[in-house]
A = this chain, B = another copy of it.
Amino acid sequence: MGTVAALQTVGSTGGVSARAFKPLLREVSRSTPTCSDCTLRTHCVPAGLEQDTLGAFDRLRASRMRIKRGDTLYRATDRFTAVYAVRSGSCKTLILSEQGHEQVTGYHMPGEVVGLDGIDNGVHGCQVVALEDTEVCALPFEALERLAHDSTSFQHNMYRLLSREVARDHKTMLLLGSMRAEQRLAAFLLDLARRYQALGYSSCEFILRMTREEIGSFLGLKLETVSRLFSRFHHDGVIQVQGRVVKLLDRNALQRLVGAEP
């Protein structure tokens, strides 16, 4: 019984949605690639680990999986067995309100980890959907706990990972609770730029992987408002935007917007 079978079971027992019978996942390589070879190792879960702990990390035997654009990695209420590190591509995490309204809680790039909110009661709290064809590394949580037990430095890494997520969410709450629409979008663009830069990509020109509606969901705005703001920023010469291709022309202006009075 491979990891994938188990995970597929999880996927199919979870949601009772229309897509219930569509296989969610497909394994890419059973020859589990090692973290110590990974180009992302300095940005991902094992960031900062000394060489010997990194070796132990390889023995986790994380299995890499491919998710096609629009497909779901797991749903809320699916059983929690692993967290997932984005290897390539990107995805969104979302929760559904009682009426099925979708709230995007985050966008995730390579090196980032999703699924941490499922640890508490062994059930996933959100749904993960790929924004483009995406590869993730499934890290069985029990194995992570064992590894954390053996290595205090990795244990500390795990705490930091969770703590960072909490701090990030608090910032998002500030955005949603006290910023006006244009401040939210400006903050969003600057955050994306910063993260692309951290990965070595251009920080002033990038492609949005999500729709206007998805951006709006994350920012607490309607898609028309997002679209209008893009047009306004473009008109004001702050950015260039052509569909999903965005170029930041005046980051100081964006920064000033974020820091402007209510």
Residue among A117, A149, A173 facing the most chain B CB atoms (10 A cut-off): A173
Residue on B nearest A171 in the bound complex, by CB: B95
Interface pair A125/B167, CB less than 8 Å apart? yes
Residue on B nearest A170 in the bound complex, by CB: B105
Contact of A97 among B99, B125, B164, B174 (CB under 8 A): B174
Contact of A145 among B121, B159, B170, B217 (CB under 8 A): B159
- A261 contacts partner chain B, Cβ-Cβ < 8 Å: yes
**Chain A to chain B contacts (Cβ below 8 Å), 18 pairs:** A97-B174, A97-B179, A99-B259, A103-B173, A103-B174, A103-B178, A105-B173, A117-B163, A117-B166, A118-B163, A125-B167, A145-B156, A155-B155, A166-B166, A166-B169, A169-B170, A177-B219, A178-B217
Interface pair A101/B166, CB less than 8 Å apart? no
Interface pair B170/A125, CB less than 8 Å apart? yes
Chain A residues numbered 56-113 whose CB sits less than 8 Å from any CB in chain B: 95, 97-99, 101, 103, 105
CA distance A98 to B190 in the complex (A): 15
Report copies per complex. 2
CA distance A159 to B144 in the complex (A): 11
CA distance A178 to B103 in the complex (A): 7
CA distance A172 to B97 in the complex (A): 11
Interface pair A173/B173, CB less than 8 Å apart? yes
Interface pair B117/A167, CB less than 8 Å apart? yes
Residue on B nearest A219 in the bound complex, by CB: B177
CA distance A160 to B254 in the complex (A): 38
Distance (Å) between the CB of A176 and the closest chain B CB? 4
Interface pair B261/A163, CB less than 8 Å apart? no
Distance (Å) between the CB of A159 and the closest chain B CB? 5
CA distance A125 to B160 in the complex (A): 13
Query: Given A126-B170, A170-B126, A173-B169, A163 and B119 touching (CB < 8 A)?
Result: yes
- A152 contacts partner chain B, Cβ-Cβ < 8 Å: yes
CA distance A167 to B124 in the complex (A): 9
What string of 1s and 0s marks CB contacts (under 8 Å) between A220-252 and chain B? 100000000000000000000000000000000
Interface pair B116/A166, CB less than 8 Å apart? yes
- A148 contacts partner chain B, Cβ-Cβ < 8 Å: yes
